[in-house]
Amino acid sequence: MKNEMNPHQCQVVTALNTFVGKWKPIILLNLFVNGTLRFNELRKQIPDIKQRMLTLHLRELEEQDLIKRVVYAQVPPKVEYSLTEYGKTLGPLMNALHEWGENHLKHLETMKSPPLIKDPNS
C-alpha cells in the first residue's frame, strides 16, 4: 500500500467513479473484448439493459473520453462505439479486477462450505 495514499483527496475514488455503476463496467468490458460494436450489437451483448440506460451510459462514457461514438450518415442509422486510446488505459485495471474477482469466487466457496468433518489433527 502506497504510503502517500490519503483516504481524503482520494484517487481510488476518482478512479472508481469513472467506471462503476450497474452497467458501465459491462459496457466497457464488451468493448474491450469485442472491439467496435454498434448500438444494437451492444444491446444483444447485454440482454438485460434497457435502451435508455444504454444510451445514458454510453453518453457518459463518451463525455469521459473513455469511448468514442462514430455516426454514419445513412438510413437506417449506424452508430459505432469503441474504446478511445485513453479508454484502453483501463485495460490493466480491468485485468486486475478480473483476477481478484476470480480469486474471490474461490474464496466464497471456501467460506460457504466449512469442512463437514473436522480434521482430527487440528
Whole-angstrom CA distances from 109 to 71, 98, 112 are: 46, 17, 5
Specify the residue, 92 or 120, whose C-beta has the smaller distance to a copy of itself.
Answer: 92
Of 55, 65, 70, 77, the one binding a copy of itself (CB under 8 A) is 65
Q: Are 19 and 90 in contact (CB under 8 A)?
A: yes
- Asked whether position 31 contacts DNA by CB under 7 A, the answer is no
For 79, residues 6+ apart whose C-beta sits below 8 A from its C-beta are 38, 39, 69, 70, 71, 72
- Asked whether position 102 contacts a copy of itself by CB under 8 A, the answer is yes
Owner of C-alpha cell 489433527: 121
CB 85, min distance to a copy of itself, A: 11
Whole-angstrom CA distances from 38 to 9, 42, 87, 91 are: 38, 6, 17, 21
CB 5, min distance to a copy of itself, A: 6
Residue 67's H or E segment, with its range, is strand 67-72
- Asked whether position 100 contacts a copy of itself by CB under 8 A, the answer is yes
- Asked whether position 76 contacts DNA by CB under 7 A, the answer is yes
CB 94, min distance to a copy of itself, A: 6
Task: Tell me which residues touch DNA (CB under 7 A).
Answer: 21-23, 38-41, 48-53, 55, 58-59, 69, 75-79
